[in-house]
Amino acid sequence: MKRLLVAAIVAALGVPMSAQQADNAKLAAQKADAVKGVDEMAKLAQEMVDSVFSFGELGMQEVETSRYLTAQLEKFGFKITRGQSGIPTAWVATYGSGKPVIALGSDIDGIPQSSQKPGVAYHDPIIEGAPGHGEGHNTGMPLNIIAAIAVKRIMERDKLPGTLMLWPGVAEELVASKAWFVRDGMFKDVDVNLFTHVGANLGTGWGQQGGTGLVSMEFTFEGETAHSAGAPWRGRSALDAVELMSVGWQYRREHLRLSQRSHSVITNGGDQPNVVPRNASIWFYFREIDQPHIKELQEIGIKMAEGAALMTNTKMSYRILGTAYPRHMNKVVAETMYENIKAVGLPTWSEQDQQLAKGLQKELGNPTQNGLAVKLGELGKPVALEDNNGGGSDDIGDISWNMPTITLSYPANIPGLPGHNWSSGIASATPIAHKGVVLSSTLGS
Ligand SMILES: [Zn+2]
Protein backbone atom coordinates (compact mmCIF):
# COMPACT_ATOMS: atom_id res chain seq x y z
CA MET A 1 0.00 0.00 0.00
CA LYS A 2 2.85 2.38 0.60
CA ARG A 3 3.51 2.56 -3.10
CA LEU A 4 0.20 4.25 -3.68
CA LEU A 5 0.99 7.14 -1.39
CA VAL A 6 4.38 7.66 -3.03
CA ALA A 7 2.72 8.05 -6.42
CA ALA A 8 0.40 10.71 -5.05
CA ILE A 9 3.16 12.78 -3.49
CA VAL A 10 5.33 12.64 -6.58
CA ALA A 11 2.34 13.75 -8.60
CA ALA A 12 1.68 16.63 -6.21
CA LEU A 13 5.31 17.74 -6.24
CA GLY A 14 5.32 17.22 -9.94
CA VAL A 15 5.80 19.52 -12.77
CA PRO A 16 3.51 22.45 -13.57
CA MET A 17 0.74 21.99 -16.14
CA SER A 18 2.61 23.86 -18.89
CA ALA A 19 5.62 21.79 -19.90
CA GLN A 20 3.38 18.80 -20.55
CA GLN A 21 4.82 15.92 -22.51
CA ALA A 22 8.46 15.74 -21.54
CA ASP A 23 7.37 16.33 -18.00
CA ASN A 24 4.80 13.55 -18.13
CA ALA A 25 7.56 11.15 -19.09
CA LYS A 26 9.72 12.50 -16.28
CA LEU A 27 6.88 12.13 -13.80
CA ALA A 28 6.26 8.56 -14.92
CA ALA A 29 9.94 7.76 -14.43
CA GLN A 30 9.91 9.35 -10.98
CA LYS A 31 6.83 7.35 -10.06
CA ALA A 32 8.56 4.15 -11.19
CA ASP A 33 11.60 5.04 -9.09
CA ALA A 34 9.36 5.71 -6.13
CA VAL A 35 7.72 2.31 -6.49
CA LYS A 36 11.11 0.66 -6.64
CA GLY A 37 12.27 2.64 -3.61
CA VAL A 38 9.23 1.55 -1.63
CA ASP A 39 9.65 -2.11 -2.55
CA GLU A 40 13.24 -2.01 -1.34
CA MET A 41 11.95 -0.86 2.06
CA ALA A 42 9.49 -3.75 2.52
CA LYS A 43 11.53 -5.10 5.44
CA LEU A 44 11.56 -1.72 7.20
CA ALA A 45 7.80 -1.41 6.63
CA GLN A 46 7.22 -4.79 8.27
CA GLU A 47 9.42 -3.88 11.23
CA MET A 48 7.64 -0.57 11.79
CA VAL A 49 4.15 -2.07 11.45
CA ASP A 50 4.97 -4.83 13.95
CA SER A 51 6.79 -2.50 16.37
CA VAL A 52 3.93 -0.02 16.56
CA PHE A 53 1.51 -2.94 16.98
CA SER A 54 3.52 -4.13 19.98
CA PHE A 55 3.06 -0.80 21.79
CA GLY A 56 -0.75 -0.75 21.53
CA GLU A 57 -1.12 2.52 23.44
CA LEU A 58 -4.37 4.40 24.06
CA GLY A 59 -5.03 7.99 22.98
CA MET A 60 -2.84 10.65 24.64
CA GLN A 61 -0.62 7.82 25.93
CA GLU A 62 1.15 7.05 22.64
CA VAL A 63 4.51 7.60 24.35
CA GLU A 64 6.52 4.65 23.05
CA THR A 65 4.77 4.85 19.67
CA SER A 66 5.74 8.48 19.15
CA ARG A 67 9.25 7.95 20.50
CA TYR A 68 9.76 5.10 18.04
CA LEU A 69 8.24 6.79 14.99
CA THR A 70 10.10 10.07 15.49
CA ALA A 71 13.37 8.16 15.98
CA GLN A 72 12.81 6.44 12.64
CA LEU A 73 12.10 9.75 10.94
CA GLU A 74 15.16 11.41 12.47
CA LYS A 75 17.30 8.53 11.29
CA PHE A 76 16.19 9.32 7.73
CA GLY A 77 16.88 13.04 8.02
CA PHE A 78 13.50 14.51 8.99
CA LYS A 79 13.34 17.38 11.47
CA ILE A 80 11.03 16.80 14.44
CA THR A 81 9.06 19.33 16.48
CA ARG A 82 7.56 17.77 19.60
CA GLY A 83 4.65 18.63 21.89
CA GLN A 84 2.42 20.12 19.17
CA SER A 85 -0.66 21.93 20.58
CA GLY A 86 0.51 21.13 24.10
CA ILE A 87 -0.12 17.43 23.50
CA PRO A 88 2.90 15.47 24.80
CA THR A 89 2.60 12.67 22.22
CA ALA A 90 1.98 14.96 19.21
CA TRP A 91 4.78 15.98 16.84
CA VAL A 92 5.49 17.22 13.35
CA ALA A 93 8.25 15.89 11.09
CA THR A 94 9.43 17.88 8.08
CA TYR A 95 11.87 17.61 5.23
CA GLY A 96 12.73 20.12 2.52
CA SER A 97 11.69 23.73 2.09
CA GLY A 98 9.29 25.91 0.16
CA LYS A 99 6.22 25.00 -1.84
CA PRO A 100 4.37 22.80 -2.29
CA VAL A 101 3.88 21.66 1.29
CA ILE A 102 2.49 18.14 1.32
CA ALA A 103 1.24 16.76 4.61
CA LEU A 104 0.91 13.06 5.37
CA GLY A 105 -1.09 12.04 8.44
CA SER A 106 -2.44 8.90 10.05
CA ASP A 107 -3.79 7.87 13.44
CA ILE A 108 -1.64 6.11 16.01
CA ASP A 109 -3.80 5.26 19.01
CA GLY A 110 -5.21 1.92 20.17
CA ILE A 111 -8.52 0.58 21.49
CA PRO A 112 -9.29 -0.49 25.08
CA GLN A 113 -9.58 -4.24 25.80
CA SER A 114 -8.38 -5.26 22.34
CA SER A 115 -5.06 -6.93 23.13
CA GLN A 116 -4.71 -9.81 20.66
CA LYS A 117 -2.05 -12.16 19.33
CA PRO A 118 -1.64 -11.38 15.64
CA GLY A 119 -2.23 -14.20 13.17
CA VAL A 120 -4.45 -16.18 15.59
CA ALA A 121 -8.01 -16.42 14.22
CA TYR A 122 -9.84 -16.43 17.57
CA HIS A 123 -9.82 -14.27 20.71
CA ASP A 124 -6.43 -14.80 22.31
CA PRO A 125 -5.15 -11.70 24.11
CA ILE A 126 -1.44 -11.07 24.64
CA ILE A 127 -2.46 -9.54 27.98
CA GLU A 128 -6.04 -10.03 29.17
CA GLY A 129 -7.90 -6.72 29.45
CA ALA A 130 -5.05 -4.65 28.00
CA PRO A 131 -5.42 -2.16 25.15
CA GLY A 132 -4.32 -3.15 21.67
CA HIS A 133 -4.64 -2.25 18.02
CA GLY A 134 -8.30 -3.21 17.72
CA GLU A 135 -8.69 -0.78 14.82
CA GLY A 136 -5.37 -1.22 13.05
CA HIS A 137 -3.91 2.23 13.70
CA ASN A 138 -0.45 0.66 13.86
CA THR A 139 -0.12 0.57 10.06
CA GLY A 140 -0.84 4.13 8.87
CA MET A 141 2.25 6.02 10.04
CA PRO A 142 4.66 3.29 8.88
CA LEU A 143 2.96 3.56 5.48
CA ASN A 144 3.41 7.35 5.42
CA ILE A 145 7.02 7.14 6.59
CA ILE A 146 8.00 4.66 3.87
CA ALA A 147 6.27 6.83 1.27
CA ALA A 148 7.99 9.97 2.57
CA ILE A 149 11.46 8.39 2.57
CA ALA A 150 11.00 7.19 -1.02
CA VAL A 151 9.89 10.65 -2.15
CA LYS A 152 12.60 12.41 -0.16
CA ARG A 153 15.24 10.41 -2.01
CA ILE A 154 13.80 11.45 -5.36
CA MET A 155 13.53 15.09 -4.24
CA GLU A 156 17.20 15.05 -3.22
CA ARG A 157 18.32 13.38 -6.42
CA ASP A 158 16.29 15.59 -8.77
CA LYS A 159 16.60 18.73 -6.63
CA LEU A 160 12.83 19.13 -6.42
CA PRO A 161 11.57 22.01 -4.29
CA GLY A 162 8.89 21.37 -1.72
CA THR A 163 8.26 20.32 1.85
CA LEU A 164 7.11 16.98 3.20
CA MET A 165 5.34 17.12 6.54
CA LEU A 166 4.32 14.08 8.58
CA TRP A 167 1.98 14.30 11.55
CA PRO A 168 0.26 11.72 13.79
CA GLY A 169 -3.45 11.53 14.50
CA VAL A 170 -3.08 11.46 18.27
CA ALA A 171 -6.08 10.13 20.23
CA GLU A 172 -8.28 9.76 17.14
CA GLU A 173 -10.57 7.44 19.10
CA LEU A 174 -11.19 10.36 21.43
CA VAL A 175 -11.33 12.86 18.51
CA ALA A 176 -9.07 14.96 20.67
CA SER A 177 -6.24 16.36 18.54
CA LYS A 178 -6.94 17.36 14.94
CA ALA A 179 -9.25 20.31 15.61
CA TRP A 180 -6.62 21.64 18.02
CA PHE A 181 -3.88 21.19 15.41
CA VAL A 182 -5.96 23.29 13.00
CA ARG A 183 -6.73 25.91 15.65
CA ASP A 184 -3.01 26.28 16.42
CA GLY A 185 -2.08 26.83 12.78
CA MET A 186 -0.13 23.62 12.35
CA PHE A 187 -1.34 23.31 8.75
CA LYS A 188 -1.26 26.99 7.78
CA ASP A 189 1.27 26.53 4.95
CA VAL A 190 0.01 23.11 3.83
CA ASP A 191 -1.20 22.80 0.22
CA VAL A 192 -2.60 19.29 0.41
CA ASN A 193 -3.21 16.81 3.17
CA LEU A 194 -3.01 13.12 2.26
CA PHE A 195 -4.50 11.19 5.15
CA THR A 196 -4.31 7.42 5.33
CA HIS A 197 -6.62 5.12 7.25
CA VAL A 198 -6.63 1.35 7.52
CA GLY A 199 -9.46 -0.43 5.74
CA ALA A 200 -10.21 -3.70 4.00
CA ASN A 201 -9.94 -2.35 0.46
CA LEU A 202 -8.11 0.32 -1.46
CA GLY A 203 -10.18 3.43 -1.96
CA THR A 204 -10.83 7.11 -1.57
CA GLY A 205 -13.70 9.51 -2.16
CA TRP A 206 -14.62 13.17 -2.49
CA GLY A 207 -17.31 15.59 -1.36
CA GLN A 208 -19.50 15.21 1.67
CA GLN A 209 -18.71 11.84 3.24
CA GLY A 210 -21.04 9.45 5.03
CA GLY A 211 -20.78 9.03 8.78
CA THR A 212 -21.07 11.65 11.48
CA GLY A 213 -19.33 14.41 13.36
CA LEU A 214 -19.50 14.56 17.11
CA VAL A 215 -18.88 16.36 20.34
CA SER A 216 -17.48 14.41 23.28
CA MET A 217 -18.56 15.78 26.69
CA GLU A 218 -18.14 14.68 30.28
CA PHE A 219 -20.78 15.82 32.78
CA THR A 220 -19.78 15.89 36.43
CA PHE A 221 -22.17 16.20 39.36
CA GLU A 222 -21.28 17.25 42.86
CA GLY A 223 -23.39 16.39 45.90
CA GLU A 224 -22.58 15.63 49.52
CA THR A 225 -21.52 12.48 51.33
CA ALA A 226 -23.40 10.97 54.27
CA HIS A 227 -23.67 7.56 55.93
CA SER A 228 -25.76 5.62 53.38
CA ALA A 229 -27.55 3.69 56.16
CA GLY A 230 -27.19 5.95 59.22
CA ALA A 231 -28.25 9.30 57.74
CA PRO A 232 -28.99 8.99 54.01
CA TRP A 233 -31.28 12.05 54.27
CA ARG A 234 -28.18 14.13 55.00
CA GLY A 235 -26.56 13.14 51.69
CA ARG A 236 -27.04 14.30 48.08
CA SER A 237 -26.06 11.65 45.55
CA ALA A 238 -24.08 12.65 42.48
CA LEU A 239 -24.51 9.09 41.22
CA ASP A 240 -28.30 9.54 41.27
CA ALA A 241 -27.83 12.50 38.95
CA VAL A 242 -25.67 10.44 36.58
CA GLU A 243 -28.24 7.62 36.52
CA LEU A 244 -31.13 10.01 35.94
CA MET A 245 -29.32 11.72 33.10
CA SER A 246 -28.55 8.36 31.54
CA VAL A 247 -32.15 7.13 31.85
CA GLY A 248 -33.45 10.47 30.62
CA TRP A 249 -31.29 10.20 27.51
CA GLN A 250 -32.59 6.71 26.75
CA TYR A 251 -36.19 8.02 26.85
CA ARG A 252 -35.29 11.01 24.68
CA ARG A 253 -33.54 8.81 22.13
CA GLU A 254 -36.92 7.72 20.67
CA HIS A 255 -37.59 11.32 19.68
CA LEU A 256 -34.24 12.09 18.08
CA ARG A 257 -33.48 11.99 14.36
CA LEU A 258 -32.65 8.58 12.91
CA SER A 259 -29.21 9.83 11.84
CA GLN A 260 -28.01 10.46 15.38
CA ARG A 261 -25.70 8.15 17.32
CA SER A 262 -25.18 8.74 21.03
CA HIS A 263 -23.53 6.61 23.68
CA SER A 264 -22.09 7.02 27.14
CA VAL A 265 -19.98 5.45 29.85
CA ILE A 266 -19.97 6.27 33.57
CA THR A 267 -16.41 7.38 34.28
CA ASN A 268 -16.97 7.87 38.01
CA GLY A 269 -19.79 6.14 39.85
CA GLY A 270 -18.79 6.98 43.42
CA ASP A 271 -16.49 5.40 45.95
CA GLN A 272 -18.22 2.67 48.01
CA PRO A 273 -21.84 1.78 48.76
CA ASN A 274 -21.95 2.97 52.40
CA VAL A 275 -20.91 6.51 51.43
CA VAL A 276 -23.40 8.60 49.46
CA PRO A 277 -21.39 9.51 46.29
CA ARG A 278 -20.26 13.11 46.43
CA ASN A 279 -18.88 13.12 42.85
CA ALA A 280 -19.96 11.20 39.79
CA SER A 281 -19.40 11.66 36.05
CA ILE A 282 -20.87 10.43 32.81
CA TRP A 283 -19.17 10.79 29.40
CA PHE A 284 -21.21 11.11 26.22
CA TYR A 285 -20.44 11.10 22.50
CA PHE A 286 -23.18 13.08 20.71
CA ARG A 287 -23.04 12.30 16.98
CA GLU A 288 -24.99 13.72 14.04
CA ILE A 289 -24.44 14.13 10.33
CA ASP A 290 -24.12 17.93 10.21
CA GLN A 291 -22.89 20.66 12.50
CA PRO A 292 -26.26 22.28 13.42
CA HIS A 293 -27.64 18.92 14.55
CA ILE A 294 -24.51 18.07 16.53
CA LYS A 295 -24.96 21.38 18.31
CA GLU A 296 -28.63 20.58 18.89
CA LEU A 297 -27.76 17.25 20.55
CA GLN A 298 -25.17 18.98 22.67
CA GLU A 299 -27.78 21.47 23.89
CA ILE A 300 -30.26 18.69 24.69
CA GLY A 301 -27.47 16.97 26.67
CA ILE A 302 -26.72 20.10 28.69
CA LYS A 303 -30.43 20.66 29.44
CA MET A 304 -30.81 17.07 30.55
CA ALA A 305 -27.79 17.36 32.83
CA GLU A 306 -29.27 20.52 34.35
CA GLY A 307 -32.52 18.59 34.92
CA ALA A 308 -30.69 15.73 36.61
CA ALA A 309 -28.91 18.22 38.89
CA LEU A 310 -32.26 19.85 39.79
CA MET A 311 -33.81 16.48 40.64
CA THR A 312 -30.98 15.48 42.93
CA ASN A 313 -30.03 18.84 44.40
CA THR A 314 -26.52 18.51 43.05
CA LYS A 315 -24.27 20.88 41.11
CA MET A 316 -23.43 20.15 37.48
CA SER A 317 -20.44 21.10 35.37
CA TYR A 318 -19.20 19.79 32.04
CA ARG A 319 -16.13 19.83 29.85
CA ILE A 320 -15.64 19.19 26.18
CA LEU A 321 -13.14 16.36 25.65
CA GLY A 322 -13.17 16.06 21.89
CA THR A 323 -14.80 17.19 18.72
CA ALA A 324 -14.99 16.12 15.08
CA TYR A 325 -16.58 17.91 12.15
CA PRO A 326 -18.32 15.81 9.47
CA ARG A 327 -15.90 15.11 6.58
CA HIS A 328 -15.72 16.82 3.21
CA MET A 329 -12.99 15.65 0.83
CA ASN A 330 -11.33 17.26 -2.19
CA LYS A 331 -12.46 16.16 -5.65
CA VAL A 332 -9.30 16.78 -7.70
CA VAL A 333 -7.02 15.10 -5.20
CA ALA A 334 -9.39 12.14 -4.78
CA GLU A 335 -9.75 11.63 -8.53
CA THR A 336 -5.98 11.82 -8.99
CA MET A 337 -5.46 9.33 -6.20
CA TYR A 338 -8.08 7.03 -7.67
CA GLU A 339 -6.21 6.96 -11.00
CA ASN A 340 -3.13 5.84 -9.07
CA ILE A 341 -5.21 3.28 -7.18
CA LYS A 342 -6.36 1.75 -10.45
CA ALA A 343 -2.78 1.67 -11.73
CA VAL A 344 -1.45 -0.04 -8.59
CA GLY A 345 -4.33 -2.45 -7.86
CA LEU A 346 -4.77 -4.65 -4.81
CA PRO A 347 -1.98 -6.64 -3.16
CA THR A 348 -1.48 -10.25 -4.20
CA TRP A 349 -2.77 -12.25 -1.26
CA SER A 350 -1.33 -15.69 -0.55
CA GLU A 351 -3.46 -18.73 0.16
CA GLN A 352 -2.46 -18.41 3.83
CA ASP A 353 -3.63 -14.78 3.94
CA GLN A 354 -7.02 -15.82 2.54
CA GLN A 355 -7.23 -18.77 4.90
CA LEU A 356 -6.66 -16.54 7.94
CA ALA A 357 -9.29 -14.08 6.72
CA LYS A 358 -11.91 -16.74 6.02
CA GLY A 359 -11.16 -18.52 9.27
CA LEU A 360 -11.76 -15.34 11.25
CA GLN A 361 -14.93 -14.51 9.31
CA LYS A 362 -16.20 -18.00 10.19
CA GLU A 363 -15.14 -17.68 13.83
CA LEU A 364 -17.14 -14.43 14.10
CA GLY A 365 -20.23 -16.09 12.63
CA ASN A 366 -20.32 -13.92 9.49
CA PRO A 367 -22.99 -15.23 7.11
CA THR A 368 -20.48 -15.25 4.22
CA GLN A 369 -16.74 -15.89 4.33
CA ASN A 370 -15.35 -14.15 1.26
CA GLY A 371 -11.86 -13.63 2.62
CA LEU A 372 -9.77 -10.61 1.62
CA ALA A 373 -10.74 -8.02 -0.99
CA VAL A 374 -9.80 -9.03 -4.54
CA LYS A 375 -11.77 -6.36 -6.40
CA LEU A 376 -11.22 -2.60 -6.11
CA GLY A 377 -14.13 -0.52 -4.86
CA GLU A 378 -15.53 2.47 -6.77
CA LEU A 379 -14.34 6.04 -6.25
CA GLY A 380 -16.49 7.37 -3.39
CA LYS A 381 -18.98 10.08 -4.44
CA PRO A 382 -20.63 12.72 -2.23
CA VAL A 383 -23.27 11.38 0.16
CA ALA A 384 -26.41 13.55 0.31
CA LEU A 385 -27.51 14.38 3.85
CA GLU A 386 -30.87 12.67 3.29
CA ASP A 387 -29.04 9.46 2.36
CA ASN A 388 -26.67 9.55 5.32
CA ASN A 389 -27.82 7.16 8.04
CA GLY A 390 -25.04 8.04 10.46
CA GLY A 391 -22.06 5.96 11.47
CA GLY A 392 -18.57 6.69 12.73
CA SER A 393 -16.63 9.95 12.90
CA ASP A 394 -13.02 11.02 12.35
CA ASP A 395 -11.57 14.38 13.28
CA ILE A 396 -9.86 14.50 9.89
CA GLY A 397 -13.15 16.30 9.17
CA ASP A 398 -11.82 19.40 10.93
CA ILE A 399 -8.80 19.39 8.63
CA SER A 400 -10.81 18.63 5.49
CA TRP A 401 -12.73 21.92 5.77
CA ASN A 402 -9.49 23.91 5.96
CA MET A 403 -7.41 22.64 3.03
CA PRO A 404 -7.60 20.08 0.21
CA THR A 405 -7.68 16.73 2.00
CA ILE A 406 -8.45 13.12 1.21
CA THR A 407 -8.39 9.86 3.10
CA LEU A 408 -6.66 6.98 1.36
CA SER A 409 -8.18 3.81 2.74
CA TYR A 410 -5.74 0.91 2.34
CA PRO A 411 -6.26 -2.84 2.65
CA ALA A 412 -4.37 -3.92 5.76
CA ASN A 413 -7.29 -5.59 7.47
CA ILE A 414 -9.90 -8.30 7.02
CA PRO A 415 -13.36 -7.33 5.70
CA GLY A 416 -16.51 -7.89 7.75
CA LEU A 417 -15.23 -7.25 11.29
CA PRO A 418 -17.23 -5.44 14.00
CA GLY A 419 -14.51 -2.80 14.50
CA HIS A 420 -13.10 -1.51 17.79
CA ASN A 421 -12.60 -5.13 18.73
CA TRP A 422 -9.78 -7.64 19.28
CA SER A 423 -10.56 -9.15 15.86
CA SER A 424 -9.19 -6.07 14.09
CA GLY A 425 -5.80 -6.76 15.66
CA ILE A 426 -5.49 -10.21 14.12
CA ALA A 427 -4.29 -9.15 10.65
CA SER A 428 -2.59 -5.96 11.79
CA ALA A 429 0.87 -7.46 12.30
CA THR A 430 0.79 -10.20 9.67
CA PRO A 431 1.70 -10.34 5.95
CA ILE A 432 -1.82 -9.01 5.21
CA ALA A 433 -0.93 -5.70 6.85
CA HIS A 434 2.65 -5.73 5.56
CA LYS A 435 1.57 -6.18 1.93
CA GLY A 436 -1.22 -3.66 2.25
CA VAL A 437 1.16 -1.08 3.68
CA VAL A 438 3.92 -1.56 1.11
CA LEU A 439 1.57 -1.38 -1.85
CA SER A 440 -0.18 1.73 -0.54
CA SER A 441 3.03 3.60 0.17
CA THR A 442 3.64 3.92 -3.53
CA LEU A 443 0.32 5.67 -3.86
CA GLY A 444 1.41 8.33 -1.44
CA SER A 445 4.62 8.96 -3.24
ZN1 LIG B 1 -9.42 4.91 12.91
Indicate if 110 and 234 belong to the same structural domain.
Answer: no
Q: How far is the CA of 407 from the centre of ligand 1 (A)?
A: 11
Q: How far is CA 147 from each of CA 6, 42, 151, 205, 403, rounded to the nearest angstrom?
A: 5, 11, 6, 20, 21
Q: At what angle do helices 140-158 and 63-75 cross, to 10 degrees?
A: 20
Mean pLDDT of 285-295: 98
Mean pLDDT of 148-152: 97
Q: How far is the CA of 87 from the centre of ligand 1 (A)?
A: 19
The SS3 of residue 396 is helix
Q: How far is the CA of 19 from the centre of ligand 1 (A)?
A: 40
- CA dist., res. 164 & res. 160, Å (int): 11
Q: Is 144 exposed, middle or buried (0-12, 13-18, 19+ CB in 10 A)?
A: buried
Q: How far is the CA of 169 from the centre of ligand 1 (A)?
A: 9
Indicate if 202 and 346 belong to the same structural domain.
Answer: yes
DSSP state of 83: S
Given a cut of 90, whether residue 300 has pLDDT beyond it is: yes
Q: How far is the CA of 140 from the centre of ligand 1 (A)?
A: 10
Mean pLDDT of 194-215: 97
Given a cut of 90, whether residue 187 has pLDDT beyond it is: yes
- CA dist., res. 258 & res. 238, Å (int): 31
Q: What is the pLDDT of residues 219-263, one digit of tens each?
A: 999 999 999 999 999 999 999 999 999 999 999 999 999 999 999
Q: How far is the CA of 392 from the centre of ligand 1 (A)?
A: 9
Indicate if 268 and 253 belong to the same structural domain.
Answer: yes
Indicate if 279 and 221 belong to the same structural domain.
Answer: yes
Mean pLDDT of 121-131: 98
Q: How far is the CA of 111 from the centre of ligand 1 (A)?
A: 10
pLDDT band at 209 (very low <50, low <70, confident <90, very high): very high
Q: Residue 445: what pLDDT?
A: 63
Query: What separation, in Å, do the N-terminal and C-terminal C-alpha atoms of the chain show?
Result: 11
Q: Residue 443: what pLDDT?
A: 77
Indicate if 347 and 220 belong to the same structural domain.
Answer: no
- CA dist., res. 103 & res. 333, Å (int): 13
Q: How far is the CA of 197 from the centre of ligand 1 (A)?
A: 6
Indicate if 294 and 387 belong to the same structural domain.
Answer: no
Indicate if 48 and 118 belong to the same structural domain.
Answer: yes
The CATH number of the domain holding residue 310 is 3.30.70.360
Q: How far is the CA of 132 from the centre of ligand 1 (A)?
A: 13
Indicate if 87 and 195 belong to the same structural domain.
Answer: yes
pLDDT band at 10 (very low <50, low <70, confident <90, very high): low
Q: How far is the CA of 137 from the centre of ligand 1 (A)?
A: 6
Amino acid at 373: A
Domain end position, chosen among 307, 324, 341: 324
Q: How many domains does the chain have?
A: 2
Q: How far is the CA of 183 from the centre of ligand 1 (A)?
A: 21
Mean pLDDT of 272-283: 98
Mean pLDDT of 272-293: 98
Domain end position, chosen among 324, 354, 375: 324
Q: How far is the CA of 149 from the centre of ligand 1 (A)?
A: 24
Given a cut of 60, whether residue 1 has pLDDT beyond it is: no
* Percent composition of the chain: helix, strand, coil (DSSP 3-state, to 5): 40, 20, 40
Mean pLDDT of 322-342: 97
DSSP state of 10: H
The CATH number of the domain holding residue 185 is 3.40.630.10
Indicate if 416 and 269 belong to the same structural domain.
Answer: no
Indicate if 202 and 261 belong to the same structural domain.
Answer: no
Q: Residue 71: what pLDDT?
A: 98
Q: How far is the CA of 172 from the centre of ligand 1 (A)?
A: 7
Q: Residue 239: what pLDDT?
A: 98
Q: How far is the CA of 409 from the centre of ligand 1 (A)?
A: 10
Give the global pTM. Answer: 0.94
Q: What is the percent of the chain where pLDDT is above 70?
A: 96
* More confidently predicted of 25 and 379: 379
What value does the CA radius of gyration of the chain take, rounded to a whole number of Å? 23
Q: What is the Cβ-side half-sphere exposure of residue 228, based on CA atoms within 13 angstroms?
A: 12
Low-confidence winner among 23-27, 234-238, 397-401, 436-440 (lowest mean pLDDT): 23-27
Q: How far is the CA of 199 from the centre of ligand 1 (A)?
A: 9
Q: How far is the CA of 184 from the centre of ligand 1 (A)?
A: 23
Q: Residue 444: what pLDDT?
A: 66
- CA dist., res. 393 & res. 306, Å (int): 27
Q: What is the pLDDT of residues 374-414, one digit of tens each?
A: 999 899 999 999 999 999 999 999 999 999 999 999 999 99
Q: Residue 16: what pLDDT?
A: 47
Q: Residue 12: what pLDDT?
A: 65
Mean pLDDT of 29-33: 89
pLDDT band at 8 (very low <50, low <70, confident <90, very high): low
Given a cut of 70, whether residue 174 has pLDDT beyond it is: yes
Given a cut of 60, whether residue 436 has pLDDT beyond it is: yes
Given a cut of 70, whether residue 18 has pLDDT beyond it is: no
* Planar angle of CA 268, 272, 275, nearest 5 degrees: 105
Domain end position, chosen among 269, 291, 324: 324
Q: How far is the CA of 106 from the centre of ligand 1 (A)?
A: 9
Q: What is the pLDDT of residues 66-94, one digit of tens each?
A: 999 999 999 999 999 999 999 999 999 99
Q: How far is the CA of 362 from the centre of ligand 1 (A)?
A: 24
User: Cα-flanking dihedrals φ and ψ of residue 119, to 5°?
Assistant: 80, 0
Average pLDDT, the chain: 95
Indicate if 272 and 349 belong to the same structural domain.
Answer: no
Domain residues for the domain of 286 are 213-324
Q: How far is the CA of 171 from the centre of ligand 1 (A)?
A: 10
Q: Residue 15: what pLDDT?
A: 44
Q: How far is the CA of 415 from the centre of ligand 1 (A)?
A: 15
Q: Residue 141: what pLDDT?
A: 98
Indicate if 258 and 143 belong to the same structural domain.
Answer: no
Q: How far is the CA of 109 from the centre of ligand 1 (A)?
A: 8
Q: How far is the CA of 204 from the centre of ligand 1 (A)?
A: 15
